[in-house]
Amino acid sequence: MFIIENYNTAIFFCFITMLCWGSWANTQKLSSQKWPFQLFYWDYSFGILLLTLIFGLTLGSNGELGRSFIDDLSQAELFYMQSAFIGGVVFNLANLLLVIAIEISGMAIAFPIGIGIALVLGVFTNYISFPGGNPLFLFGGVLLVALAIIIDGFAYKKTLQNSGGGSTKGILFSIAAGIAMGFFYKYVAASMAPDFTSPQAGKLTPYTALFIFSIGVLLSNFLFNTINMYRPFFGERVSFGDYIKLGNTKLHFIGILGGVIWGVGMSFSIIASEKAGPAIAYGLGQGATMVAAIWGVFIWKEFKDLPKNYAWLIPLMFFFFISGLGLIILAKLF
């Protein structure tokens, strides 16, 4: 199977993760005008499963190193499969809350607050479970990201005040999403053998862990997203019949594409975690907050109502995010 062999390549993969995780929500924004986000989310889940299966049968099955995808599935112990599956369930709950927050408040709010909180919690939980990297640099970077989150929330509050309306509900959903999102990655990491080249018996290779994770995402969707369809926290009630009635090839493709983009990011993060360490791989991937904020600020104009005398908050937010990510990268080098 394909395995990363050095730290620099791992960092490059983490940056791809950052771009993917920060960009997939554009597919939701593109389809939301014609397609309820609950129905979009089904296609998104299918896209994640499809991507992880393709990666398992290609990258996870070729090469001399490690165990091939099918062989790994056949030898996996139930305990480790359950761990990857639970990671998928926890992620799906968190991500659905994030999708609701995006629908209410936009990418420039939901991501910096929700995924920023996830970054802070995720780095802590993954570092405790799998220590790696200089804690001074690592947690210093986390502190700067936390400051960026606070600035983003304050800027959003001023935007709402200036626009003469709005709701803080999006912030509440973002916070809930971030808290849940901070815990899913450690379950996936715990299911895998620490040495991808010579994985121990019973544990999973990254490609198998990702596939089982994606099954957890899809199956839990029948609980979480069904509740959101028939008892929506935001938006109108929809049914499974609407998935057939309202959907078309283009809308389904956009949703699947969103899942594929996120799945590429998750896969690259997990593949990079052996050389970078789970805490750093997760922390850098969640730099997606900055990427999503760029989309939200400059493309979707989500801060257009921010008073001009508070415009300096946006570059300050980006400064803290970039500085924090830089320290997280340096954590493995010093």
- Identify the pLDDT of residue 161: 80
Read off φ and ψ for residue 192, nearest 5 degrees. -100, 150
Please name the amino acid found at residue 304: K
Alpha carbon 276 to its chain centroid, in Å, reads 18
**For the chain, which residues score pLDDT lower than 70?**
163-167
- Spell out the domain ranges in the chain: 7-330
- Identify the pLDDT of residue 166: 53
Cα torsion angle, 9, 15, 17, 20, sign:
negative
Q: What are the structure tokens assigned to 278, written together?
A: 């789970």
* Spatial contact of 165 and 39, defined as CB atoms under 8 Å apart: no
Q: Which residue has the tokens 């995402």?
A: 217
pLDDT tens for each residue of 126-149:
898 888 889 999 999 989 988 988
- Identify the pLDDT of residue 286: 79
- Identify the pLDDT of residue 171: 86
Question: 24: closest CA among 314, 288, 318?
Answer: 288
Cα separation values, 324 from 5, 137, 167, 178, Å: 26, 9, 29, 18
Residues in Cβ contact with 156 at an 8 Å cutoff, skipping those fewer than 6 apart: 105, 108, 109, 171, 303
Q: What are the structure tokens assigned to 41, written together?
A: 């989310």
Beta strands in 4-106, from DSSP E residues, in sequence order: none
